Amino acid sequence: MNSNVMAARIVADTIKTSLGPKGMDKMLVDSFGDVTITNDGATMLKEMDVQHPAAKMMVEVAKTQDDEVGDGTTSVVVLAGELLSKAMDLMDKKIHATVIIDGYRDAQEQALKFLDEISIKIEPRDKKMLRKVATTSMASKLVAGHGEYLSKLAVDAILQIAEKTEEGYEADLDMVKLEKKPGGALTDTTLIKGLVIDKEVVHSDMPKIIREAKIGLLNTSMEVEKTEFDAKIHIESPEEMQAYLDQEEQMLREMVEKVKKGGINVIFCQKGIDDMVQHFMSREGILAARRLKKSDMEALAKATGAKVVTNVDDLTETDAGYAAVVEEKKIGDEKMIFVEGCKNPKAVSILIRGGSERIVDEAERSIHDALCVIRDVVEEPKVVAGGGAPEIEVARKIRRYSEALSGRERLAVAAFAEALEVIPITLAENTGMDPIDAISELQSRHEKGELWAGINSLKGEVVDMAEHDVYEPMQVKAQAIKSATEAATMLLKIDDVIAASKMRSPAMPPGGPGGMPGGMPGGMPPM
Ligand SMILES: Nc1ncnc2c1ncn2[C@@H]1O[C@H](COP(=O)(O)OP(=O)(O)O)[C@@H](O)[C@H]1O
Ligand SMILES: [Mg+2]
């Protein structure tokens, strides 16, 4: 059998068991022995050491899904695997790959149309619905127990940053900064209307809070510049020594003078700050932090309207930024600087807390997914209920559509419909239900017009998912169908893997014959 299809299906089978709220988590161990526990399809695939080129394509599919819509990464891979599996069955019946590919493409187009037809149009700022969508995306995560609390924060964050455009709304996720600090509980996670900087105020005598902050951003050090070369200074008397030190002190003093003249009372410096400068700044009541990350400097510039300058001389009032309050606060055992009430109100942060590093890491991934699905809906305000309901309904409609087609193409289109049902089947399996019973109940209830009949993972029964508030963005479903079809058809088109000329094997002459017996360099590489 085609080894590409085989390899791709193995990847799909591996992550199948993690689909849905009752899906299992995976513990990933890297070559250093570091452990990640996750249920996030994209994360699992990213960390898996996949070698086979076809298997790598499945990883790519998940990545595309993640980049485009941020959720549905497990579903897309499971769906692609099932499309390939059904294609294999057809090929066994001597139906040619090109016929299958054409049928799949046709079916995909229909699927997207049906999906759009059944979707529910909502108000883009419908908080209640956005929260439901966010909670659904977190239902399958480790942090599900606090899904509602975290969803509320995520919705508030997105609504804060969403911009009105001519066609609707746009939300730039870069405007939501996620900051983690292990310790406390998940419910200590907070939304900050501004930025959180993981640094302390550099000197203990400096003020810990500044109101009406005029913020200077500097990306050079506040020290006396050392010459590039080893310079020697001849000092022959104590007076000369004193004069030299005085001069240095004078330069540092002037530096602080300039900051003060610029009307600046908060300094964020990307490099170091000399002790003497710290001391002088404390005396002037200036709050300062040093060695900030470049990304923090950029976020501060965006949020406060400050310009990052490369020279203390340029710290002028016009280039300074504004925030209503800059304050150092104690978070657990550590201190962080909060910059709130920024000039640009569309800058928010979520400070993630939780019992351990692993929890805050998984919480970050889950909140990221939630932010993505909220953005998806705000930008394209259409939702469907979850739990496999849309897949069953779309499959039903595609089957009916296929009846008008002739012969072989009909088989391919029908196979596509059947493949879609892998989602509810897998949800049922992972919940411990009998998948065959579940699917036939689902089909018959949809036949009777119960549009949102789906698998209630928590109870293990077929219910109306809309009544259970399980909603997802239509975009997530549409993207999964598109990407899975694309990947499956692409793999079906390949009948062999050819080793390209840039082989590591010295036995292979450069530019030599491309094909290798068995198709794979060195046979079937490990998965
Ligand atoms: N409470 C629930 N009951 C049943 N199904 C649910 C529930 N919450 C989410 N789902 C379903 O779980 C699936 C998503 O599972 P998930 O593990 O998050 O995978 P993915 O990486 O594809 O998002 C979707 O089909 C969604 O409708
Ligand atoms: Mg999900």
Q: Which of 113-122, 426-435, 505-514 has the lowest mean pLDDT?
A: 505-514
> What is the SS3 assignment for 305?
coil
With beta carbons less than 8 A apart as the criterion, state whether 214 and 322 touch. yes
Q: Hey, what amino acid is at 305?
A: G
Mean pLDDT score, 345-372: 92
With beta carbons less than 8 A apart as the criterion, state whether 84 and 8 touch. yes
Supply the pLDDT for residue 123.
94
Reply yes or no on whether the pLDDT at 518 is more than 70.
no
Best residue for ligand 1 mutational test, from 77, 140, 148 (most atoms within 8 Å of Cβ): 140
Percent of the chain with pLDDT over 90: 68
Which residue puts its alpha carbon closest to atom 9 of ligand 1? Answer: 136
- Measured distance CA(40)–CA(72) in Å, rounded: 9
> What positions carry a catalytic annotation?
40, 73-74, 369
With beta carbons less than 8 A apart as the criterion, state whether 150 and 370 touch. yes
Mean pLDDT score, 3-24: 84
**Centre of ligand 2 from the C-alpha of residue 130, in Å:** 15
Q: Are strands 287-289 and 266-269 parallel, antiparallel or unpaired?
A: parallel
Mean pLDDT score, 110-134: 97
Reply yes or no on whether the pLDDT at 46 is more than 80.
no
**C-beta neighbour count of 97 within 10 angstroms:** 17
User: What is the CB < 6 Å shell around ligand 1?
Assistant: 18-21, 23, 39, 41, 71-75, 136, 139-140, 386-388, 423, 427, 455-458, 470, 472
Atom of ligand 1 nearest to the CA of 23: 17
Chain segment 439-481, per-residue pLDDT in tens: 999 999 999 999 999 999 888 999 999 999 999 999 999 999 9
**Centre of ligand 1 from the C-alpha of residue 141, in Å:** 10
**C-beta neighbour count of 124 within 10 angstroms:** 17
**Centre of ligand 1 from the C-alpha of residue 69, in Å:** 15
**Centre of ligand 1 from the C-alpha of residue 222, in Å:** 52
Q: Average pLDDT of the chain?
A: 89
**Centre of ligand 2 from the C-alpha of residue 98, in Å:** 32
Helix (H) or strand (E) holding 245: helix 238-261
Reply yes or no on whether the pLDDT at 506 is more than 80.
no
Atom of ligand 1 nearest to the CA of 19: 17
Closest-approaching ligand to the CA atom of 483: 1
Residues with a beta carbon under 5 angstroms from ion ligand 2: 71
- pLDDT band, very low/low/confident/very high, at 288 (cuts 50, 70, 90): very high
Reply yes or no on whether the pLDDT at 497 is more than 70.
no
Closest-approaching ligand to the CA atom of 480: 1
> What is the SS3 assignment for 10?
helix
Which residue puts its alpha carbon closest to atom 13 of ligand 1? Answer: 20
Chain segment 191-242, per-residue pLDDT in tens: 999 999 999 999 999 999 999 999 999 999 998 876 566 667 777 888 888 8
Supply the pLDDT for residue 94.
92
Closest-approaching ligand to the CA atom of 41: 1
Closest-approaching ligand to the CA atom of 461: 1
**Centre of ligand 2 from the C-alpha of residue 27, in Å:** 17
Which residue puts its alpha carbon closest to atom 14 of ligand 1? Answer: 20
- Measured distance CA(121)–CA(380) in Å, rounded: 9
Specify the pTM: 0.85
Q: Which of 129-133, 377-381, 443-447, 494-498 has the lowest mean pLDDT?
A: 494-498
- Measured distance CA(51)–CA(135) in Å, rounded: 35
Supply the pLDDT for residue 241.
82
Reply yes or no on whether the pLDDT at 6 is more than 90.
no
Supply the pLDDT for residue 511.
43
